[in-house]
Amino acid sequence: MSAGRVYLVFYNGLQFLGWSYLLLQILTHFKNGGEYGDLYAAVETTLKIFQTGALLEIIHAATGLVRSNVTVTLQQVSSRVYIVWFILHTLPASRSSIGVLLLLFAWTITEMIRYSMYGIQLVTTTPYFLTWLRYTFFIIAYPVGVSGELLCNFAGYLEAKESGIYSVSLPNPVNFTFSFSLLTVLVGLVYIPCFPPMYIHMFTQRRKVLGGSQKKE
């Protein structure tokens, strides 16, 4: 087994364990009587570590270590990192949004399926049920996850607009203006043209993978 393959097995295995632990944290939180409004506090560190770790996947795709589409990978990873660090980390109001529960549900299950599948296929044949889950669960997960991201983004926008955090207004010595709240609006609008192609791309992949398997069977 090559060094690159060993690294990928380790990376995918570690990410699977991390997201599995995050799911355990979520279940424990609700089992102990927690509510969705304070869920973020229970998973904050784990979420930041393993979602930020996904930035490596952009490098994996760009260097040819994996065959993933660089543009799609960049889009998927950057949107999540933006929500984690620019919204949830920076704007406390977003943490109490129902969007946190929605995105955590979608992200966590999706990543557990995805990383376990990637890790297994590096060493042996992937079980069909796992492949089926990978190319079926997204039908629910993508709309739910995107809805959660947009709800958190909107809650963050309201706080950013009220507080003026990270914004620069005129007049100032460098004659420069910047509105962080406007940035959140622009990012939200980007979802409109970006989500449909990504969703359709996954359906195309589903037909290629599961359609081919069914024909063979």
Question: What positions carry a catalytic annotation?
Answer: 142, 149
Helix (H, G, I), strand (E, B) or coil at 174: coil
DSSP 12: H
For residue 16 the two structure tokens come to: 């699977």
Cβ-in-10-Å burial (0-12, 13-18, 19+) of 90 comes to: middle
How far apart CA 197 and CA 185 sit, in angstroms, is 20
Taking only Cα atoms into account, the Rg of the chain, rounded to an integer number of angstroms, comes to: 19
Give me the DSSP letters along 55-119: GHHHHHHHTTSS---HHHHHHHHHHHHIIIIIIITT-GGGGGSHHHHHHHHHHHHHHHHHHHHHH
